[in-house]
Amino acid sequence: MSDSKEAVTEKKGRGSPSNSDKKDTNERKRNAEADKNYSPPAKKGRGRPKGSTKKSKIKKPDPMPKAPRKAKNVSSSESDEKNLINKTCSKMKLSSGLIVILGFIALANCEVFFEEKFLDDSWEKNWVYSKHEGKEFGQFVRTAGKFFNDEEQDKGLQTSQDARFYALSTKFTPFSNKDKPLVIQFSVKHEQNIDCGGGYLKVFDCSLEQTDMHGESPYLIMFGPDICGPGTKKVHVIFSYKGKNHLINKEIRCKDDVFTHFYTLIVQPDNTYEVLIDNEKVESGSLEDDWDFLPPKKIKDPEAKKPEDWDERATIPDPDDKKPEDWDKPEHIPDPDATKPDDWDDEMDGEWEPPQIDNPDFKGEWKPKQIDNPAYKGIWKHPEIDNPEYTADENIYLREEVCTVGLDLWQVKSGTIFDNILFTDDPEYAKTAAGTFKATQEGEKKVKDEQDEEERKKAEAEAKTEEKDEDNEDLDDEEDTPGEATEDVGDHDEL
């Protein structure tokens, strides 16, 4: 760079730079190289006050984004673990196009607390089977199943035995979601076309004794699909709060096909939540409104009672309305067209009576007409008061110690595959991780369609073979049946 580019341009009414200024400029250039600072060139039409020899230094923005915070626990092979840990887990906030051009990018780091993709057999060392007394637990196998998109990438843990309880868990470095989101995500594939069985995760603190985990073990969160017959096809979202499990008071329908689906639960520090299936929001709201964690804010005033003279009747019978004199008629009358049969014997059959028919003049019970009630006051509403037992809790969302995730469920028909288990504080990272669902489903459907077509052709071929065999058997039976014997006249000389 020449000195002329650093010098201040001479303008009318402005002084030209002195030799000392030029020396200072060269010195500043050298300092800028050493300190990674730079001196901005003077703007057109601007000079510096006469006698000034120093320009202010402006620090350049960092040329590279900050590295993401590493995941505390990522279960996989060593090489895959490094790759997963080094995944970018950052959200870039771009306030304007100008800032993008200038390179000013602010980053908000996130954390991946646990991520398990079952990419190799190391899960057998990290996951622990329960040995709870009195239970016969089923075993998991690592497989991509009967149909898949990528056989290696799509491998997960599959239930392998029918009519069994399953209890398997793994621990990781404890974390708290204080003042930040909690995101729980995993994928489920019911390739066996499940009729009754769980497909959910349970989240525990560090107190869980893994080898004794069972259905009554206290947990923090239970989340995921549950299917049993046509009546139960829902997503469980259960939180433990002050020692009691609370179910969501909304019905969230789960997927019931045979393909892979991602289930995501997002809990925000403002006590709101979202449930997503395949990155699509299926439910959201307030933790306080959609669960019964807290007593109601308002209760009916126990001291209030409806006044005795409170009239809730909108209409009343017209007191001036009178029943017509000819109103009362019998409901049934003898049939005037009926005649006694000729063969009717009064002594043998009794006295003959004509059959009854509906009376066309019958009007039913008379009721006076209704008129507006002049004393009507509306429906009385019980007044409410503040519930003295209600205390707001800003930390309903908070789980101080998240340490363990487990598969604790029952399945009548095995075959469910669990995969892509993720705990993070970044919904965007989870969204990206689940973004593979579409390609996975498309690949699975393609392979399954091919398998179904092969099965169809095979069944047709077997049916034709069976039909041909039956025809051959019928033909053999016909050939083996003896015909009628013909008498040989020559053998009957007596005739």
pLDDT digits (tens, 9 = 90+) for 5-36: 343 343 344 444 444 444 455 555 555 554 54
C-alpha 106, offset from chain centre: 32
What's the confidence (pLDDT) of residue 480? 63
SS (H, E, C) 315-381: EEECCCCCCCCCCCCCCEEECCCCCCCCCCCHHHHCCCCCCEEECCCCCCCCCCCEEECCCCCCCCC
For 115-285+399-446, CATH number out of 3.90.79.10, 2.60.120.200, 3.30.465.10, 3.40.50.720 equals 2.60.120.200
Of 24, 22, 23, the residue nearest 4 (C-alpha): 22
What's the confidence (pLDDT) of residue 347? 86
SS3 316: strand
What's the confidence (pLDDT) of residue 73? 59
pLDDT in tens, 231-256: 999 999 999 999 999 999 999 999 99
Q: Which residues of the chain have pLDDT under 50?
A: 1-23, 34, 36-68, 70-71, 76-88, 90-107, 485-495
What's the confidence (pLDDT) of residue 27? 54
What's the confidence (pLDDT) of residue 68? 43
Distance in angstroms (rounded) separating the CA atoms of residues 40 and 459 = 80
Structural domain boundaries in the chain: 3-59, 115-285+399-446
What's the confidence (pLDDT) of residue 478? 67
Specify the residue for token string 């009548």: 412
Distance in angstroms (rounded) separating the CA atoms of residues 7 and 10 = 9
- What Å distances lie between residue 231 and 24, 165, 199, 247, 311, CA to CA? 83, 21, 16, 17, 44
What's the confidence (pLDDT) of residue 58? 41
Specify the residue for token string 């017959």: 229
Which tokens is 297 given? 């804010």
User: Looking at the whole model, is its pTM more than 0.75?
Assistant: no
